[in-house]
Amino acid sequence: MTIKHGKQFFFILLCSIALTACNSENTIEETGGLKPPFNLSGIYERVEKPFTARFECKETPEPIYDLFFNSMYSKASKNSSEVDQAAYKKYLKDTENIKTLESKLAVMGNRYLMSWPHRIEIAQCALGWMDDWAKADGFMGDANHMGEFVRKWALASVSLTYLQIRNEGNLDKEQKTRVKAWLNRLTDQVIDDFSKKPEINSRNNNHMYWAVWAVANGAVVNNNKEQFNWAMEKAKEAIDHIQDDGTLKIELIRGKKAYNYHHYAAIPLFYLAEIAQTNGIDLYKENNEGLQRLAKRILLNIDDQGYFEILTGKKQDLTRTITHSNLSWLVPYYKKYEDSDALKLLKLYHPVRHSRVGGNAVFLYSGLKNYD
């Protein structure tokens, strides 16, 4: 295994944990308000190579109002484990503008924080994109179930970018007001979506976890404690789903995709623990440290998914499973437990990143310097 800057990575990772513990105060707009999941205090010192490349603000992807999308899974697959390639291509085409919005906003948020002195034009571009969608009431139309899923993912991505740029003093105040009001409505809509039909799987599986993560960040944007309390209540319920062996019962029904979905479910669960912790709530202790059991179960099966094959009766499909984005849950997990197995994967897949946790997870959450 060839790992660039391996020793330096290890040293900085250990040092950054201590640094993060010392720098507990987040930079926020309102004193005493809800805090974002990442600590912006001292973030400039964590930038090894400031972003200095030419930046051009691209045209905003056209906003989408109504949200009617097909699943990528075959209709004949009762447990959503068989991908229909034609359906997948259609889904990617129909959601292209949304994917562009999410991914590019995360990049802009990271580049703004990684520039020194801060590149005002990057933050202005990101806010401009959000404002274009806010003025169009993006994501606020009618939706089918897949549309509801897309809506909550987008709420997470947009909110996290806003939280990265919001303290830039040169941003247009009217744009900020519109964006915050839009994100507040969007947060309420996601709560409404996932408060209906509690009997269906998506109200109890990884979709709910992602919705809760999105709501928690939307709540921070507007310092909305009612929304945040809803998220924390649901987060505790989610962590209670973790069984004694570290598995999630409802994700096991995904058959050959069960192991994949344990990774995917772990992402919002661990980042919910981060945002809870910055706001004085300890979710790591919930369900007898259920999150640690979940992580251990996933890591024990990283090379051999035999345990999941026994439980599901299916050979596990690892397509898009062990990737830079799907492993992003390792950052808060390692930060909390310093598991050497997690560190090996963090080195191998560094830097892990996911637009729905704010982009470069290593940079934002652990205090590591930028190795892009």
List pLDDT tens digits, range 109-148.
999 999 988 999 999 999 999 999 999 999 999 999 999 9
* Contact between 343 and 330 (Cβ < 8 Å): no
24 pLDDT above the threshold of 80: no
Per-residue pLDDT averaged across 334-355, rounded? 94
Structure confidence at residue 46 (pLDDT): 75
Question: Could you give the 3-state DSSP secondary structure of residue 188?
Answer: helix
Helices (H), 26-119: 85-94, 96-114
* Diameter of the chain measured on Cα atoms: 57
Say if residue 5's pLDDT is above 90: no
In degrees and rounded to multiples of 5, residue 154 shows phi and psi of -65, -40
Residues 6+ apart with CB under 8 A from 217: 36, 37, 155, 156, 159, 160, 163, 275
Tokens representing 185? 């409505």
- As a CATH number, domain 6-366 is 1.50.10.100
Residue 348: pLDDT band (50, 70, 90) is very high
Q: What is the mean pLDDT of residues 324-352?
A: 95
With a pLDDT cut of 90, the percent of the chain lying above it is 81
Return the pLDDT at 26: 33
Contacts of 306 (CB under 8 A, 6+ apart): none
- The confidence score (pLDDT) of residue 3 equals 38
pLDDT, position 367: 65
- Provide the residue count of the chain: 372
Q: Tell me if residue 317 falls in helix, strand or coil.
A: coil
Q: Which of 9-13, 158-162, 170-174, 325-329 has the lowest mean pLDDT?
A: 9-13
CA distance 75 to 86: 12
- Residue ranges per structural domain of the chain: 6-366
- Residues 346-360: what's their mean pLDDT? 94
Q: CA-to-CA distance for 339 and 36, rounded, in angstroms?
A: 25
Does residue 17 carry a pLDDT above 90?
A: no
Between CA 329 and CA 263 the distance in angstroms is 8
Per residue in 205-239, pLDDT tens? 999 999 999 999 999 999 999 999 999 999 999 99
What does pLDDT average to over the chain?
Answer: 90
Q: Indicate if the pLDDT at residue 372 is higher than 50.
A: no
pLDDT for 194 beyond 50:
yes
Q: Tell me: the pLDDT tens digits for 42-65?
A: 777 777 788 999 999 999 999 999
- Residues contacting residue 186 through CB under 8 Å, at least 6 positions apart: 139, 140, 151, 154, 155, 158, 218
Nearest to 116 by CA among 48, 171, 15: 48
Q: What is the secondary structure of 220-252 as a DSSP string?
A: HHTT-HHHHHHHHHHHHHHHTTB-TTS-BHHHH
Angle between the N-to-C axes of helices 286-300 and 340-348, in degrees from 0 to 180, rounded to the nearest 10: 50
User: Does the global pTM surpass 0.95?
Assistant: no
Kindly report, residue by residue over 83-114, the tens digit of the pLDDT.
889 999 999 999 999 999 999 999 999 999 99
DSSP state string for 143-187: B-HHHHHHHHHHHHHHHHHHHHHTT-TTS-HHHHHHHHHHHHHHH
Average the pLDDT over 301-315 and give the result: 97
Burial (CB count <10 Å: 0-12, 13-18, 19+), residue 281: middle
